[in-house]
Amino acid sequence: MNVVTKSPSNTALLLSGNEAVARAAWESGVAVASAYPGTPSTEILEAISAYAEVRANWAPNEKVALEIAIGASLAGARALAAMKHVGLNVASDALMSQTLAGVAGGLVLAVADDVGLSSSQNEQDSRYWGRFAHLPILEPCDSREAYELTRRAFALSEEYGCPVILRLTTAVCHVKSLAEVGRREEHPAGGFARDPSRYVLVPANARRRLPVQQERDRRLRALSASGELFRIEEGSDARVGFITSGPAYLYVKECFPEAPVFKMALTHPLPVEAIREFTAEVGTAVVVEETEPLVETELRAAGVPVRGKDLLPAVGELTPPVLRPAVAPLLGGAAAAAPATPAQVFPRPPTLCVGCPHLSAYYCLSRLHKQTIIAGDIGCYTLGAGHPWNALDTTTCMGASMGMALGLDLGRGETDKDKGVIAVIGDSTFLHMGMQGLLALAYNRANVTVLILNNDATGMTGGQEHPGTGKDLRGQPAPRVDLAAICRALGVRDERIHVLDPYEMPTFFKVLKQEVATPEPSVVITTRPCTLTSVFQRRPPYTVVDDACTGCGNCLNAGCPAISVTRRETERTRGGKEVVRSYVAIDTMACTGCSLCAEACGPGAIQLAAQE
């Protein structure tokens, strides 16, 4: 089933914002699309891969994805690069220079801000990049606008000769709403037009492009002022008027349906004079934007009287429960009635899956944590920071574990002199940004052990393929990179590279401990696939022999969600110490037979379940 591709034109579909972007890109004649998976942007490329006409691919990281799109554009084809907000930090080097050279075929950069941090290490406002890189920013509010503005973005990109940034947020990407779709228009690649004075950015050439960029800025300001990309919605109650864009517009309409609204699709450059006129017609003008006060600051600098972040938070989504009470004082309204109190219920944090191959690694790391410092990375294994393992000391950005581990090693003080330093990273993250860190570790002869948790997938985003899985975006066979060979090539000695089955926990633990004690760069690579992938194979499940269980609770330290406590008893040992015994059971329906709990069980109470 694929509603995105199979549906005919002129039908209204229930699409997520990501699907709407993919559909519109395809209709716009896109020939090449590239991305690295990242919440909330991942589904853009997944959806576009269903269109046979598009050469869609996973790039190892966002910088490469953008460079692929730039290259395709220079070949005269229309191209799309998609990424999450932090991905654009990685891609920014290419962006900041290519903005000077410009594009040939339409190039759209879809960047998804995780407003509210559903699955990210920070919350940042990608609209800054428009100001920084002199590029137009389009901000859709829902799937219909995501569709319309994606189509518009390709046309604008070619008209102004620059990439166009389509700024999405989680509330666009991951909300389904109705969008009417059309049909594909072909845009055959125009051919590469050799022009080294433009595309070879040596200083003399780059210098000549600066006035071109300034002229483009001027034309974009004129476009913004023209009114094509904003609209004014009249309202019967003009005590407060709103200046807004993106999903914040929807929240304004929900809360204040009678208020005048200045609704922008293009938020950089700003239509400053039109907004100034709007503010003159309303009592108080309030800028409602997610997340940083960019529009507000520019309007204030231009002397336009607006309010904004003095009323509203500069973090998180400005949903009705946030927006309504913040604006209420301007309307003479009383403070909102106290909301119903939520019930007190235990927390349910995300955790590693039943039988996850990372369980064993974190079980072992938790046992070594006292004598080690563990630098982590971005992926499912970040969950190792949680209960019951508590075995991560840092998480910063993609690939940071190894550089930071080297720094922790080089900068260590007296209190850490006997500690081991471990870097933990996944296979997809290693290929994204980790290899340079390992190169630095090897080159500088660091006393660091690197644990590459290779689960044959980009796990956290849903098990996407990458150059280490042997398959491409469409699941077709592709060259498979050899992680151990990469480590060798980067300078780690052969004897210090171990490829191990994490389900063989005793061996895995022994080798990890030995490598931590060895004062040179070493790498341990695991071999079991993510349990959510199609290559994962379940093994016969385990069960607890009740009579043999002593309630020691060792198996619970594995952290497998299939193990639960059936009863708890407080006992006094012969020495007079009070201990709590936790007797357990295994959900055999959920158990995948990884055997980790059986290996952790001293009395041998965990056995293979009888086969039905």
Residues of the shown chain interacting with another protein in the complex, contacts defined by CB under 8 A: 1, 14, 16, 39-40, 42-43, 118-119, 142, 171, 174-178, 247, 250-251, 253-254, 319-321, 339-343, 345-353, 380, 383, 387-388, 460-462, 553, 556, 559, 561, 563-565, 568, 580, 582, 584, 589
Between 228 and 254, whose beta carbon lies closer to another protein? 254
> What three-state secondary structure class fits 551?
coil
Between 32 and 391, whose beta carbon lies closer to another protein? 391
Q: Shortest gap between Cβ of 208 and another protein (angstroms)?
A: 44
Signed CA dihedral, 250, 256, 257, 262: sign only? negative
Q: Shortest gap between Cβ of 167 and another protein (angstroms)?
A: 17
Which bin fits 340, alpha (ψ -120 to 50), beta or left (φ > 0)? Answer: beta
Between 514 and 566, whose beta carbon lies closer to another protein? 566
Q: What are φ and ψ of residue 5, in 5° steps?
A: -90, -35
Sheet strands (E) in 240-346: 240-245, 261-264, 266-268, 284-288
For residue 63, the one-letter residue type is K
Q: Shortest gap between Cβ of 183 and another protein (angstroms)?
A: 22
Between 375 and 383, whose beta carbon lies closer to another protein? 383
Q: Shortest gap between Cβ of 321 and another protein (angstroms)?
A: 4
Is residue 609 within 8 A of residue 588, CB to CB? The reply is yes
Between 119 and 527, whose beta carbon lies closer to another protein? 119
Between 103 and 586, whose beta carbon lies closer to another protein? 586
Is residue 368 within 8 A of residue 389, CB to CB? The reply is no
Is residue 506 within 8 A of residue 599, CB to CB? The reply is yes
Between 270 and 460, whose beta carbon lies closer to another protein? 460
Residue 162: how many CA atoms within 13 Å on its side-chain side?
24
Q: Shortest gap between Cβ of 250 and another protein (angstroms)?
A: 4
Q: Shortest gap between Cβ of 16 and another protein (angstroms)?
A: 6
Between 419 and 581, whose beta carbon lies closer to another protein? 581
Between 322 and 478, whose beta carbon lies closer to another protein? 322
Q: What is the rounded distance in angstroms from the CA atom of residue 531 to the CA atom of residue 533?
A: 6
Q: Shortest gap between Cβ of 452 and another protein (angstroms)?
A: 20
Q: How far is CA 585 from CA 151, 299, 422, 553, 594, in A?
A: 55, 62, 33, 11, 16
Is residue 429 within 8 A of residue 36, CB to CB? The reply is no
Signed CA dihedral, 237, 239, 244, 247: sign only? negative
Between 84 and 216, whose beta carbon lies closer to another protein? 84
Between 267 and 461, whose beta carbon lies closer to another protein? 461
CB atoms within 10 A of CB 212: 15
What dihedral angle (degrees, nearest 10) is formed by the CA atoms of 52, 58, 59, 62? Answer: 110
Is residue 304 within 8 A of residue 279, CB to CB? The reply is yes
Query: Of 419, 438, 329, nearest to 371 (Cα)?
Result: 419
Is residue 33 within 8 A of residue 71, CB to CB? The reply is no
Adjacency order of strands within the sheet including 137-138: 55-58, 32-35, 79-84, 107-113, 164-169, 137-138, 266-268
> What three-state secondary structure class fits 88?
helix
Is residue 252 within 8 A of residue 288, CB to CB? The reply is yes
